[in-house]
Amino acid sequence: MSLSDSPFTNRLNTNYVPSPAEILQIRALLAEPLEEIAHIDARIEELELALAQLKAKRASLQRPIDAHRALTSPMRFIPHDVLLEIFSACLPSEHNALIGPAEAPLLLGRICRHWRSIAYSAPMLWSSIHIPPLADLSMPPNILSGLQRLVETWFERSGACPLSVSFFEFMNYPESNPKFEKHLLAPQILAASQRLHCLSLTGDAQLLRPILELDPANLPLLKIFRMKTSHNQVPGSTKILELPTLENVALSISIDPLSLPLPWLKLRILRLECYSRWTPNGSEGGLDFDGALDVLRRCPNLERCEMRVTKYSQHSDFDPSQIILPQLHTLLFSGWEFQLHKWIDLVAPNLRSLQIGDLNVPSNPNWSSYGHLSADIDFTRFTSMTSLQEFLQSFPTMTHLHLGNSYQPPGNIFPVDDEFIALLGPPHNLCPMLTDFRIMIPLSGGFSDAAVLAFIKARMTLPIPLRRFEVFFNRPMELDVMPELQSFIKEGLQVNLQYAQLRRPFNAREGLDEPGSLD
């Protein structure tokens, strides 16, 4: 009897319990199929052994075939100059080259002898380097000496190329530590100073002193200089900032930037994050908004400027004199220690990007304009509706406007209400070229949905209509305006209205882990 004729077919895959006699019957029924499976398993074992032997024979034949084919590989016939272009494309573009075996250019010397010969003899591949910090002061001396030799070799391979060097050292070494002076690779940097065109330093001011004392004779090519030191530390020397070749400077230090001997007239790019420090005579240094404006007046050739205001202005008003920056295309004022009673008299015909304050909602990366102005503004920096209106009137070519608030300042700010949004529509027509508008309403106040509808309808009748409109309300919806906007949406207008939830969503775990809850 075969399994296909089994009398237990209707019992299969059930909870049926066979009797002892049935168990004997089942075992007899399975004897023949089990014997057949044993024969099949033996045959499979024979075939697998034969297959393994064939695979081994194939592999022994494939190895010399692959070796011969490698001789005809297209990579072997790439011209030297093309290979160098490929190597150059492997280098990082956002930062200096890293000292890592899995990173170019070191990686390029680990592929084969031919590539290593080309990579090691191409100075341009070694023209930038980032020198990372050591792990700690207890690191064995051979690690430091190995890093020193590697940096020396790196600089040798760079030949006569101008160098871009970024150096980071921990900023929490106590000066009383006897190893404090031994972990700076200043000698290697000093030896290559004649070729430095870009230098970024992060570390303790004491560690950086030998480099900061370099003069123009030692740094004839330096154009880009960035430095960050520990707070409450004052660099012992700022001679490096006197270099007449400097064009791009970024500083994050505790000092009054107006006291620095920078070549202000030569600067094209400037980033300042200067903090106050405590002294026996009180607080010194830092940058207020008045000082930031003085910086702008000193730099008529600026193209990009970012400044962080780190202290309150001592005066209730600032210098109203005109600031002329014909080349400026990007301007950023950050920091929370300033508010504007009126907008500055700024003449910057090429300004394309403007930011005031620290917005807690990032700008939409798709908001970009060519030939016009994009602005990200924290409106709580303005003390009145009049001051904000004055600001908007100063930029008639503004196409992208993002208004938000990074914090709720002390006291009452002017309301962001229906009157506010009406300023951007007829008859006021502030920002007549506005195409993209985004605003986040503060916790209190806000304009109505009806005002939104009226604003969009009015702007869509202008010669330059809206293309994108976004509002983030801190309230529930009052009126569904989307049906009346469908005709504009079909024409290409993008509308995004987000409202706060009226009720909190149900959370079954809420309160479960609160202190005092029962275990």
Query: Per-residue pLDDT averaged across 455-476, rounded?
Result: 91
Q: Is 200 helix (H, G, I), strand (E, B) or coil?
A: strand
Q: Tell me which of 37, 52, 72 is where a domain ends.
A: 72
- Evaluate whether residue 231 is within a structural domain: no
- Evaluate whether residue 305 is within a structural domain: no
Whether 273 and 226 have beta carbons less than 8 Å apart is answered as no
pLDDT for position 227: 92
Q: Which segment of 186-200, 208-222, 276-290, 387-401 scores lowest on mean pLDDT?
A: 276-290
- Evaluate whether residue 98 is within a structural domain: no
* Domain membership of residue 41 as a residue range: 20-72
- Reported as a pLDDT band with limits 50, 70 and 90, residue 516 is low
- Evaluate whether residue 389 is within a structural domain: yes
Query: Per-residue pLDDT averaged across 73-86, rounded?
Result: 89
pLDDT at 338 over 90: no
- Evaluate whether residue 514 is within a structural domain: no
- Reported as a pLDDT band with limits 50, 70 and 90, residue 179 is very low
The structure tokens listed for 405 are 């608030």
- Evaluate whether residue 257 is within a structural domain: no
Query: Per-residue pLDDT averaged across 131-153, rounded?
Result: 74
The structure tokens listed for 404 are 């938000």
CA-to-CA distance for 1 and 31, rounded, in angstroms?
Answer: 11
Contacts of 380 (CB under 8 A, 6+ apart): 339, 357, 405, 406, 407, 408, 409, 413, 442
Radius of gyration (Cα) for the chain, nearest Å? 36
pLDDT digits (tens, 9 = 90+) for 426-455: 887 788 999 999 998 866 667 899 999 999
Residue 52: C-alpha distances to residues 39, 42, 57, 63, 374 (Å): 20, 15, 9, 17, 68
- Evaluate whether residue 470 is within a structural domain: yes
Q: Tell me which of 72, 106, 139 is where a domain ends.
A: 72
CA-to-CA distance for 396 and 377, rounded, in angstroms?
Answer: 16
Q: Which segment of 135-149, 291-305, 371-385, 472-486 scores lowest on mean pLDDT?
A: 135-149
Whether 464 and 433 have beta carbons less than 8 Å apart is answered as yes
Q: Tell me which of 37, 55, 72 is where a domain ends.
A: 72
- Evaluate whether residue 481 is within a structural domain: yes
Q: Is 332 helix (H, G, I), strand (E, B) or coil?
A: strand
Q: Report the range out of 33-42, 370-379, 500-509 with the highest average pLDDT.
A: 33-42
CA-to-CA distance for 188 and 432, rounded, in angstroms?
Answer: 57
Query: Between these two residues, 411 and 193, which has the higher pLDDT value?
Result: 193
Structural domains counted in the chain = 2
H or E element at residue 59: helix 20-71
